[in-house]
Structure 1
Amino acid sequence: MTEQAPPEPGAAHVAGQVTFLVCVADDGHSEVAARFAALRARNSGGHVALLHVVQPPEFQHWAAVGELMRQETREEAELLLQSMAAKVTEVTGEAPSMTVREGRIGDEILGHIGENEAINLLVVGAAPPDQGHGR
């Protein structure tokens, strides 16, 4: 079996290759979703793509402060993605693609999927019903 590189952002879908997009947040649900996607990718010869969406900073009184907040948030997002990517790589043997976008979460997820034809499946984590979510 030949090893193939993960598709580049904006790449078109290639028949027979499956790309699992995992939306990453700083919670255990994202880890479960990433592990699921990694196992499926490993078993199907697919790839994993990680996406983290950051909200624009609310504080805009001083441009310099707002820009510093934006930079710190982006650095935290990149560290989060690198940590998750290491876990995916452990399972699949290949590094996932990683993207950070800024904006409203739903809009950015849909925008990312729309811009990347190679993405086939969206994998999200959810809390079990007994934790009060999803009711």
Structure 2
Amino acid sequence: MKRIFVFLVLIIFFTFNALSVAHSYTKDIDFCDLFEHHGSIMIISDWEVGEILYVNKAAADFYGYSKEQLESMRMRDLNTLAPGETRKELREVLDRKEHSFIHEHVLANGEIRTVEINSYPYVK
């Protein structure tokens, strides 16, 4: 019985130690900076009204708009889908049925590009 107890105490000790180390790393991460400078195109939008709230540099570079221009637009300005199709996909995301979609988006220069969108709702 003593061996099991010591083993469990060591597991608990190492687990708490690992968690405290992991927690200290997250304190040093600036998530706004990570979002802004990440190489993946990232857009945070309010799907209920369709407004684009935040974009990162990669999104601005890809679409050919400034960050300020993109953040004053709506998703329908980029999307070639009909409004009814957009609402259907929103419902699938909110119901957690689907997260990945293939769409055609219009760039600032008028070029149409096929994009894969991975969408995840954030609900407070």
Q: Shared fold by TM > 0.5? A: no
Larger Rg: 2
Q: Structure 2-normalised TM-score?
A: 0.25
> RCO greater where, 1 or 2, for CA within 8 Å and sep 6 or more?
1
